[in-house]
Amino acid sequence: MSDLGKWLKTALCCKGPPPPRPEYDLVCIGLTGSGKTSLLSQLCSENTENIVSTTGFSIKAVPFQNAILNVKELGGAANIRKYWSRYYQGSQGVIFVLDSASSEDELETARNELHSALQHPQLCTLPFLILANHQDKPAARSVQEVLPSSTWIYRWRLWPVSYTHLDVYKRQMERAFSVAAPRLWNFLQWRLD
């Protein structure tokens, strides 16, 4: 093989596989009907027709350009929530989904569950991404109404989301991964412009 042939072979096909993307293990929790399954399915580009509430748990790999989130979604029914803590081990972060259009009683229950999760020994040092879902519904509350400012703490970020604007949410998360340090903590601390 000529020198040119060797160079072409090396330049065109021998660069090797791309470096692996870092993977992060997250747990996704929230009450039944908050939209956890639908949000994760859309982020994975899966069919969202005929979505059924998760009754136990499911695991989805959510691919982004610079990382992969391995998300363990836990069902949100009252009889399942008492078992959430059995699935927390090994998590590097938490996604908590709230239904911003739910009744005041359901929202208060969700706030209480969020408060419990924030204080749980296996989660209390982890970053939280809190999603105020269903922002496209007429009864949706603003971010400030979902969680009053007096409850804001340094290790979580609250984002409003809806199915109709999920593409914007996904781009924001991809942008966060591209500018954040490799550690998930830094990603979830990132602030929107």
Annotated binding site for GTP: 30-37, 76, 133-136
Q: What is the DSSP string of 14-71?
A: -S-SPPPPPEEEEEEE--TTSSHHHHHHHHTT---TT----SSEEEEEEE-SS-EEEE
Helix/strand number for the chain, H first, E second:
7, 6
Question: Quick check: 61 and 70 in contact, CB under 8 A?
Answer: yes
Q: Which tokens belong to 79? A: 């009889």
Q: Which residues are annotated binding-site positions?
A: 30-37, 54, 76, 133-136
Query: CA 51: distance to chain centroid?
Result: 18
Helices 166-179 and 36-43 pack at an angle, to 10 degrees, of 70
Q: Which residues are annotated binding-site positions for Mg(2+)?
A: 37, 54
